[in-house]
Structure 1
């Protein structure tokens, strides 16, 4: 399959074809407030339009037209360059409200929906000539999006994903050989991020569509790690959708297919294998299959010992700390809170694990302490979860459940933010 020229597929053979200037998805629609915001930030830095353009290495006409509201789209690389020159984030430049962007039905989700379902993506319009970004630039864009996704900054991910998806498709279509293979792999990763954001924000149908396309892109990349990673996302989407038997089945089958030798395997290979087992164990825990959950976790723990330290890349998040944290999560799912409390004491100091992973564990720590009536420790763990991954934690249902329990126990005065957490409608 490698080098076939295929760039995307689900039920159809699909290609990316920009429709018109408005919907060229290599450009990002800007906020209606960007003109005044850009001018305000530029003046705060005491820069003229020419000086800002020179510092950002963009055309002064772009700056002028954005400030005047005559331009309604821009490349993300252009917005990033302007933000760096202004000493702010791209979100600041776009006046992006993280709370609004994190909401389930928000416009950023609609932009992902558009990127996944436009007629041009389904191959209904012939491709037009478009200059793709270089592989190095695409790799950098995907690395940034993936880090934002893993840390739970979903509004930022949704902002950036449409362009990354478009450029990955385009580069896969226009390139050959190893460059095409890597572009397909990057496309698979981008689709996995889309699946992760949409299932978290309550859009399972979009998530299944995205993960199906991730599987197809992974197949055409020819990489077993990309394919196994995409299956891992499928397993997680099944779990979030309540299809626990399917979640466990696809994860264990994929783990069997890529089981590495216990000596000489790469960290990435071991990490994907172990991550599949962790996902399968989580599904077994939710169906109350205690022994199967423990067996799967035991094998994952052995793989983690081989990896040596927590490993994070675009294929998996895995290692001793991850296994220890997810063992706590699974004990909570099994309603075995005595075991959960014992496991909490065994979790090592975790460094380098993405914020959303740590926050998920901290929510289970908070719930465990709440059930054991260690209310102050529960409040501290809940607060820490919201500190390390505030956007992610805001709409996780367990966060609200724990906050509501603590409020019922009369801890609202000691922790005023509990009311906001308990009332948040994800």
Structure 2
């Protein structure tokens, strides 16, 4: 990994492209200009997060690999690889009916509690715990589901669908797109049979995120928008699950639109998310998904950062009701938000603050941060001011930020 980290971003892209794919071919697959690919491989200028996502998707790799935070094929540590292998086995074997050895499955109530613990572990960025708990629910739940009828079958179907969804979310965070899609395929079948439109809507929100991480931004927007229209609430009558699912889908559409530099659409979607959050009045959770005023405000900061509206993002982040925001968020959501703030600080010339925020993230979520694109982007910008400072940050958080 150290040798890979010592290469420049341009050399990593060229290495990943190999001899079989020309620069024009990469540009065509990624949907970017030939000039952008040429400049990237020559290390001239900075790549936007959107361009990094497109190039990573075209090269079938993760952004962290291109930025040198992970090595190709061996980017994860041994524990993460073992956890994802366990998760993959559970996702595929449970769907295929490979349940040997499960003689006395847990009850629906017991499986529901374990499912909730798996989501709690996900929001703490505890991959090994997510995998172990999700594997238990998927294997035992499918055994019980096969013989269940009536209300018990519907309840089990929703527990299983939500568990496949947390498996998909975990896999997506590590760039395992195919595993995520497999899990979502099983989840959507179960949600359809259970007849719960809110579960179906939240599954589409996760699918939108999978497409976003795969640089398929038009599809990410379309999936979220279509699902939102299917459950659009009446704001005169409060249906809390409906408001939560709708608001989360509006955020998905807004984030994907911001990655397409479509500011008008992003503003429209985030306005709808704010309206849903205001109607809810407080943060709530449904099937492991959190939404409310806190989520809407934090996501708005990230959307403005993605659009390059750094001053607007910092003005929002510095508002009185935003200063304590991270205390009310999960570890993953909190650190996603802080990375957005750090990038806005860096772009606004607040280099010391940006460095301090990046250190806070790295110390709070050391394994999670290795799989994020923004630390590398921030590190390269800070290096123009002080490479010594960036190397110190790299040592503190255990992530190579510059070559």
Q: TM-score, normalised by structure 2?
A: 0.74
Which residue of 1 is the match for residue 376 of structure 2?
400
The CA deviation at 1:151 is 2.3
Find the counterpart in structure 2 of residue 107 from structure 1. 82
Provide the secondary structure at the position in 2 that maps to 1:423: coil
Instruction: Find the partner of 2:345 among 361, 369, 377.
Output: 369
Alpha-carbon distance in structure 2 between the residues aligned to 1:177 and 1:157: 29
Instruction: Point out where structure 2 has 5 or more consecutive residues left out of the alignment.
Output: 1-75
Secondary structure at 2:119's aligned position in 1?
helix
The residue matched to 2:349 in structure 1 has which SS?
Answer: coil
2-structure distance, mates of 1:122, 1:142: 20
Of 182, 203, 206, which residue of structure 1 is paired with 2:155? 182
**CA-CA distance at 1:411 after TM superposition:** 6.2
1:310–1:353: 8 Å Cα contact kept in structure 2?
no
- CA radius of gyration, larger in: 1
Q: Which residue of 1 aligns with 2:203?
A: 230
Which residue does the alignment assign to 1:137? 110
Give, in angstroms, the shift of residue 137 of structure 1: 1.0
Give the secondary structure class of the aligned counterpart of 1:390. coil
1:222-274 per-residue CA deviation (whole Å, 9 max, x = no partner) reads 11111111111111111111111111111111111111221332332211110
Given candidates 124, 130, 135, the residue that maps to 1:151 is: 124
Give the ranges of 4+ consecutive aligned residues of structure 1 lying more than 6 Å apart after TM superposition.
Answer: 125-129
CA 1:414–1:230: 2 relative to 1, 3 Å: closer
SS in 2 for 1:402: helix
- How far apart are residue 127 of structure 1 and its match? 7.6
Residue 304 of structure 1 is matched in structure 2 by 277
Q: 1:280 and 2:253 equivalent? A: yes
User: In 1, Cα distance between the equivalents of 2:99 and 2:305?
Assistant: 52
- Hey, which of these two has a bigger chunk of helix by percent? 2
> Superposition RMSD on alpha carbons, in Å?
2.4
State the match for 1:116 in structure 2.
Answer: 91
Provide the secondary structure at the position in 1 that maps to 2:311.
Answer: helix
SS at match of 2:175: coil
Deviations 1:8-49 (A, max 9, x none): xxxxxxxxxxxxxxxxxxxxxxxxxxxxxxxxxxxxxxxxxx
How far apart, in 2, do the equivalents of 1:146 and 1:224 lie? 20
Look up the match of 2:53.
none
Distance 1:256-1:353 versus aligned 2 partners, 3 A rule: same
Contact 1:189–1:214 (CA under 8 A) maintained in structure 2: yes
Does the Cα contact within 8 Å between 1:199 and 1:237 map onto a contact in 2? yes
Which is further off, 386-395 or 174-183? 386-395
The match for 1:317 among 278, 290, 299 is 290
Q: Is the 8 A contact 2:83 2:127 kept in 1?
A: no
* In structure 2, distance between residues paired with 1:140 and 1:275: 23
Closer, same or farther: CA 126–401 of 1 in aligned 2, 3 Å: closer
Q: Distance in 2 between matches of 1:256 and 1:315?
A: 22
Kept in 2: contact 1:401–1:422 (CA 8 A): no
Change (3 A) 1:352 1:180: farther
* Rounded Cα–Cα distance in structure 2 between residues aligned with 1:388 and 1:269: 33
Whole-Å separation in 2 of the counterparts to 1:387 and 1:129: 40
Instruction: State the aligned residue count.
Output: 323
Asked whether the 8 Å contact 1:226–1:315 carries over to 2, the reply is no
| Superposed CA offset, 1:90-111 (max 9, x none) | xxxxxxxx96424xxx122111
Query: Whole-Å Cα distance in 1 between the matches of residues 285 and 368 of structure 2?
Result: 19
Deviation at 1:403, TM superposition (A): 2.8
1:423 alignment partner in structure 2: 400
| Cα 1:166–1:143 shift into 2, 3 Å | same
Q: 1:254 aligns with which of 220, 224, 227?
A: 227
Give the CA deviation at 1:413: 4.9
Determine helix, strand or coil for the equivalent of 2:96. coil
CA distance in structure 2 between the partners assigned to 1:144 and 1:132 by the alignment: 17
Q: CA deviation at 1:382?
A: 1.3
SS of aligned partner of 2:212: helix
Instruction: Say whether the 8 Å CA contact 1:412–1:418 is kept in structure 2.
Output: no
Cα deviation per residue 1:87-132 (whole Å; 9 max; x = unaligned)? xxxxxxxxxxx96424xxx1221112222334x7425x79888222
